[in-house]
């Protein structure tokens, strides 16, 4: 028992340290990005312009990874705010719409009006964006994502995000949510870890069903706020 406690304390120190390092590293990165942008205003050869574009993209990617770490290390507080889930779902779909269109993917949605939950607005939006992004990346190009949300008779809200993409084997499903598990060349494997963490904090859970080469369905279940 004592061992477990010490271990947890150590973990806290490590995650606090990681968070402060991440925080410190952000500032110089922002200034490098600023100078890169200034350089873009100069007269450049095509190659130089391409190198700077890639540098900025990669900086943004590093920034994204740091933000994911910071989100994971955030201190936990109890959810208190009542959220208009229906509009958060619509907003999340809007955010991802251009990425979907770029990959010739159609997002179909059917969301019940006036769904409410108690939780964290930005966090639940991040969960939805992460899962929709994964769905788009599983399809790669041309396909369909279906999103629906409804309150069940037992008061639980169920949000379904289905894709007809690559799907997963049973082995792959088992590994989901473990930090750093990713099958993508540029993946972080932190997206779903964060999703599980956030949904659990709001008293819910995620059920995943998938079939290789057929598609995947993420079912986010959350207690209704009303």
Which residues are near Mg ion by CB under 5 A?
134, 191
Residues ≥6 apart with Cβ < 8 Å to 137: 165, 184
Token digits for 217? 């369905």
Beta carbon nearer to ligand ADP, 139 or 222: 139
Beta carbon nearer to ligand ADP, 176 or 222: 176
164 binds ligand ADP (CB under 6 A): no
CB of 93 to Mg ion, least distance (A): 17
> Pattern 95-134, binding to ligand ADP, x per CB under 6 A?
-----------------------------------x---x
CB of 1 to Mg ion, least distance (A): 36
Sign of CA dihedral 136, 139, 140, 144: negative
Beta carbon nearer to ligand ADP, 92 or 134: 134
Residue 189, contacted partner among ligand ADP, Mg ion, none, CB below 5-8 A by kind: ligand ADP
- Contact residue for ligand ADP among 66, 93, 115, 138 (CB under 6 A): 138
124 contacts 92 by C-beta, under 8 angstroms: no
Token digits for 194? 């964060």
How many helices (H) and strands (E) the chain has is answered by 6, 7
- Contact residue for ligand ADP among 132, 149, 157, 168 (CB under 6 A): 168
The candidate with the shortest Cα–Cα distance to 197, out of 85, 120, 93, is 120
Binding site for ligand ADP (CB under 6 A): 130, 134-135, 138, 163, 165-168, 176, 181-184, 187-192, 216
């Amino acid at each position: 028992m004592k061992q477990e406690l010490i271990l947890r304390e150590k973990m806290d120190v490590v995650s606090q340290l990681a968070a402060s390092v991440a925080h410190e590293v952000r500032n110089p990165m922002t200034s490098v990005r600023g100078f890169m942008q200034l350089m873009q205003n100069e007269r450049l050869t095509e190659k130089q312009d391409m190198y700077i574009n890639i540098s900025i993209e990669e900086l943004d990617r590093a920034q994204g990874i740091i933000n994911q770490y910071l989100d994971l290390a955030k201190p936990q507080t109890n959810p208190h705010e009542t959220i208009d889930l229906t509009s958060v779902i619509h907003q999340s779909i809007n955010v991802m719409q251009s990425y979907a269109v770029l990959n010739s993917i159609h997002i179909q949605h059917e969301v019940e009006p006036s769904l409410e939950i108690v939780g964290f607005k930005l966090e639940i939006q991040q969960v939805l964006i992460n899962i929709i992004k994964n769905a788009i990346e599983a399809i790669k190009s041309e396909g369909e994502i279906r999103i629906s949300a409804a309150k069940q008779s037992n008061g639980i809200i169920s949000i379904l995000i289905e894709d007809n993409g690559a799907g997963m084997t049973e082995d792959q499903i088992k590994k989901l949510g473990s930090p750093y598990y990713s099958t993508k060349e540029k993946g972080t494997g932190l997206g779903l870890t964060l999703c599980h963490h956030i949904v659990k904090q709001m008293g819910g859970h995620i059920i995943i069903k998938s079939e290789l080469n057929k598609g995947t369905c993420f079912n986010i279940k959350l207690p209704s706020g009303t």
